[in-house]
Structure 1
Amino acid sequence: MCEGRRWQTRSREQTVEQTVIDGEINKGKESRVILRSCCNATGEMILTNQNTKSGQKIHYETNQKLFKTVDKKLHSMLPKALPWSKGLLGHCAVVGSGGILQNSSCGAEIDNADYIIRFNLGPVTNSKDVGNKTHLMTINPSQIRGYPNLTKDPQPLANRVAVYGNASLLLPAFSYQFSTGLSLDVYHSLQPLRPNQKVVFFNPNFMLNLDRKWKGQGLKEPRLSTGLMLASVAMELCEEVHIYGFWPFSLDLNHNPLPHHYYDNVGPNKGVHSMPDEFLLLLKLHTQGVLQLHLGRC
């Protein structure tokens, strides 16, 4: 009889545990459906031959009165399809640049993911902490300006991106007008030197819809960070989402000082993003089981 009671107790505990797990899975699925219905990274995150037609007008994200007409040359630069068109991506790692990654020993765990997203040409030299595998890497237009002779001498940029293997390079070519020429220069400069490394462009409509979605839930910053954008993409496209290096504070959880980035201590431009507010949003999603924030040593 006592054995029976113990068995029943364990059974109830297992039921509660399974209910919690199922709740987290359902919350993740719910977020995936919401993001797909509002923003559709599945079919719209980057410009492709499938979602962009020759002769179409691409309106700029930050000024809808301005547009770029897709000519045959631009259309030929777009990929035929999205890299995830065959289904969910599985276990994804979204790797920010926060100083919290220093001495984290998270590199092996990050590299074990099925799909790895990184930002703004973040270095992967310290592979013990940040790993070195990359599938998608963003480039900020301001970084391209660091290569003023790009069209005449593309080798320095080619050498820099070579460390990411054949990762796709993602640029916001149609956020601002000045971004377009810089982004197209990256494409034309790298294509002869690194033909297997795709240069792809954010779809400004996707960025607008994502902006409306999060601002509708209380964010008041002028622009979403690229980090929150790609974390949102991962929430829609991945079965599991693991977030590393997202920590906008100068002290870690044990009150030890941290640099702003794991590779330098250069702070952000003021008045553009609201990183603490974005972090609180991600923390809320973490507590709901939608994603997993990693804030300590691995």
Structure 2
Amino acid sequence: MLRRRCLKLSFVIVFSMTTGFSLFLHRLEISEETAPLPLEHYCKNLHDKFLAMKQLKSAQNATKFFMEQLLHRTDLRSSCNASGKLFLTRNNTKLGQRITYEVDRKAFKLVDKMVYDMLPETHPWGTSRGLGRCAVVGNGGTLRNSKCGAEINSADFVIRHNLAPMNYSSDVGVKTNLVTVNPSQITESFQGLCHARRPFVEKAASHGDAHLAIAAFSYGPNTEISFRIFYTMRDMRPQQGVLYFHPDYLMTLDRYWRKKGLKCIRLSSGFMLMSAALELCEKVDLYGFWPFALDLFEKSLPNHYYDNIPAKRGVHTMPEEFMLLLEMHSQGVLQLHIGECQTPS
């Protein structure tokens, strides 16, 4: 019997104009079968709604948008505290304490002198002032031929994921301040840094002097590989610092979004850093966040802007995350960029 899972997603957009209040309700039904279904049946509707939303946002009251941003920032800050706990530092971690793992809560790592010496004194960008306008750059295929590079480069702070390739500068830009590294990448592509340290360092160097952010204490096997990354960069490229995500922050963030209705095994790294950016940045622009195989004009897209390797199933729930992003976009909390960027005249 053909297995079918139907995912229903909806969002509501409320906006005010001189004529009063209007309400949009949009519902998507995305079916997954053993033989993939074409996606044209919802892409056209989503395209129309997204364009309508862009027009409506321009008519929204700027004060209302500011208040929505402030509300989300305050809510996240009081619940998760990225400014104080996004990364492990000597300010929030004591010598001799136990670090409890994010996923396996029964496992822990003792903070001995070796671990303590790896930690920065505090967050490298400080916390007293915001980071300005932040661009959080995903790896979605919608970035290909987007011409968003210049717009991304103009941001005050640029966040990227999984050491994504930088040889598409007209589409994705060249500026990076923070880039995540997935420990599984190191095992699969760099022999666990046992014999392939220079290729890894060259890959990291393609992001300039950006800090590398790693979830060293999510799963036990991640820790040793993350330590190898630290020592490799210290020995061969010390100008690029290595930061370890605080497992308590990631766990608290997971709980925060579950209370908001998001159900997943684990948040994607893009969604994690979008959440941190909402706390730390004055304005948040998202690029390359699009989890579907067709774009808004019903054209096929690669899975990533740099390849078409299918995503691994069962860990992240990208469509559900995307709908939350779309809801926040409609509220003015963040700016979601899909398709081509407008080139300055």
TM-score calculated relative to the size of structure 1: 0.93
1:220-253 Cα distance to aligned partner (Å, 9 max, x none): 1111000100000000000000000000000000
- Structure 2: distance between partners of 1:77 and 1:251: 43
Q: 1:98 and 2:140 equivalent?
A: yes
1:132-178 Cα distance to aligned partner (Å, 9 max, x none): 11000001111010212624441111111111111000000000000
Partner of 1:39: 80
- Structure 2: distance between partners of 1:188 and 1:34: 37
Contact 2:186–2:192, Cα closer than 8 Å, also in 1: no
- Structure 2: distance between partners of 1:74 and 1:197: 18
Q: Report the CA distance between 1:73 and its aligned residue.
A: 1.1
Bigger mean CA deviation after superposition, 18-27 or 57-66: 18-27
Partner of 1:178: 221
Partner of 1:267: 310
CA RMSD of aligned residues (A): 1.4
1:48-80 Cα distance to aligned partner (Å, 9 max, x none): 010011101000001111100000111011011
Contact 1:151–1:189, Cα closer than 8 Å, also in 2: no
Q: How does 1:72-221 map to 2 (within 5 A)?
A: 72-85=113-126, 86-145=128-187, 146-148=189-191, 150-221=193-264
- Structure 2: distance between partners of 1:174 and 1:158: 22
Q: 1:48 and 2:84 equivalent?
A: no
Q: Secondary structure at the match of 1:253?
A: coil
Bigger mean CA deviation after superposition, 148-157 or 272-281: 148-157
Contact 1:54–1:70, Cα closer than 8 Å, also in 2: yes
* Equivalent position amino acid for 1:158 in 2: V
* Equivalent position amino acid for 1:150 in 2: L
- Structure 2: distance between partners of 1:250 and 1:114: 31
Q: Secondary structure at the match of 1:174?
A: coil
- Structure 2: distance between partners of 1:248 and 1:194: 34
Aligned residues: 283
Q: Report the CA distance between 1:296 and its aligned residue.
A: 1.8
- Structure 2: distance between partners of 1:88 and 1:18: 27
Q: Secondary structure at the match of 2:70?
A: helix
- Structure 2: distance between partners of 1:49 and 1:237: 20
Gapped runs of 5+ residues in structure 1? 1-16
Partner of 1:66: 107
Gapped runs of 5+ residues in structure 2? 1-57
Q: Report the CA distance between 1:83 and its aligned residue.
A: 2.3
Contact 2:253–2:272, Cα closer than 8 Å, also in 1: yes
1:196-232 Cα distance to aligned partner (Å, 9 max, x none): 1001100000000000000111111111000100000
Contact 2:134–2:277, Cα closer than 8 Å, also in 1: yes
Contact 1:107–1:128, Cα closer than 8 Å, also in 2: yes
Q: Secondary structure at the match of 1:49?
A: coil
Q: Report the CA distance between 1:124 and its aligned residue.
A: 1.1
- Structure 2: distance between partners of 1:130 and 1:165: 14
Partner of 1:6: none
Contact 1:105–1:129, Cα closer than 8 Å, also in 2: yes
Q: Secondary structure at the match of 1:68?
A: strand
Identity %: 50
Structure 1 stretches of 4+ with a deviation exceeding 4 A read none
Contact 2:135–2:158, Cα closer than 8 Å, also in 1: yes
Residues 149 and 29 of structure 1, relative CA distance in 2, 3 Å threshold: closer
